[in-house]
């Protein structure tokens, strides 16, 4: 099965969301705020969201989307930070729309399981935004500054490999595969 990879437009949206998130966390004095301006710029260009919508928390998303809306005492209310609310709602809208068109790209960008992408697209965007508007869902993907820098590089390299068009040595692999049967016959003749 062929999958449509990430486009420049996808990555531009991811970068804009990452910049907004880093700005919010810097203002709150979180670990992402300890990064230098150069590292923040570099981190913002990662080909994935630097924050999570708690995509792995099935109970949370079941409560939010499938059950009748009833406030839960355990849900963390959204803080009064309008910019953080904008990052959350814009990010959810972006991922929802992307999951409709290209669930593979949505999963790579968000790190979400396929079930979560199916769950959020099983309802309207309006419902997703209404059900999440009063809650603080986004969390940092990585906790400490040192860990963030190292893991951004590793995850970015891995995602680049997954989304690259073709490996440069593709022709050599085909040629090596053509020569393999002759080598195999030589070995079997000696045994």
Instruction: Say how many C-beta atoms besides its own lie within 10 A of residue 161's C-beta.
Output: 9
Q: Distance (Å, rounded) from C-alpha 62 to C-alpha 168?
A: 44
Question: In the predicted model, is pLDDT for residue 103 greater than 90?
Answer: yes
**For residue 29, what are the contacts with CB-CB under 8 A and spacing of at least 6?**
none
Q: What are phi and psi of 18, to 5 degrees?
A: -60, -40
Q: Distance (Å, rounded) from C-alpha 168 to C-alpha 88?
A: 38
Q: What is the pLDDT of residues 17-65, one digit of tens each?
A: 999 999 988 776 655 556 788 888 898 999 999 999 999 999 999 999 9
| C-beta of residue 148 within 8 angstroms of C-beta of residue 48 | no
Direct distance between the N- and C-terminal alpha carbons of the chain, in angstroms, rounded to an integer: 40
What percent of the chain is modeled with pLDDT above 70? 62
- pLDDT at site 61: 93
Residue 169: DSSP 8-state: T
Q: What is the pLDDT of residues 145-183, one digit of tens each?
A: 555 556 656 666 666 666 565 554 555 545 555 555 554
Q: What are phi and psi of 136, to 5 degrees?
A: -95, 100
pTM of the model: 0.69
What tokens were used for 186?
A: 């030589």
The mean pLDDT value for 139-148 works out to 67
**For residue 122, what are the contacts with CB-CB under 8 A and spacing of at least 6?**
65
pLDDT bin (cut points 50, 70, 90) of residue 186 is low
Q: Where are the alpha helices (DSSP H) in the chain?
A: 8-27, 37-44, 58-65, 82-101, 103-110, 114-121, 125-132, 145-163, 170-190
Question: In the predicted model, is pLDDT for residue 136 greater than 70?
Answer: yes
């Amino acid at each position: 099965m062929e999958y449509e990879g990430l486009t420049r437009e996808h990555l531009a949206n991811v970068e804009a969301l990452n910049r907004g998130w880093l700005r919010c966390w810097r203002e709150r004095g979180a670990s992402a705020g300890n990064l230098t301006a150069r590292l923040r710029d570099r981190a913002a260009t990662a080909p994935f969201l630097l924050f999570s919508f708690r995509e792995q928390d099935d109970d949370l998303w079941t409560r939010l989307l499938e059950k009748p809306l009833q406030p839960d005492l355990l849900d963390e209310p959204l803080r009064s930070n309008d910019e953080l609310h904008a990052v959350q709602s814009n990010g959810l809208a972006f991922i929802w729309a992307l999951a409709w068109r290209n669930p593979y790209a949505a999963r790579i960008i968000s790190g979400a399981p396929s079930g979560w992408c199916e769950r959020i697209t099983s309802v309207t965007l309006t419902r997703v935004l209404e059900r999440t508007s009063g809650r603080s869902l986004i969390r940092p993907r990585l906790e400490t500054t040192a860990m963030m820098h190292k893991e951004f590089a590793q995850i970015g390299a891995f995602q680049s490999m997954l989304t690259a068009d073709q490996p440069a040595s593709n022709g050599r692999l085909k040629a090596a595969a053509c020569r393999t049967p002759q080598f195999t016959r030589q070995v079997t003749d000696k045994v």
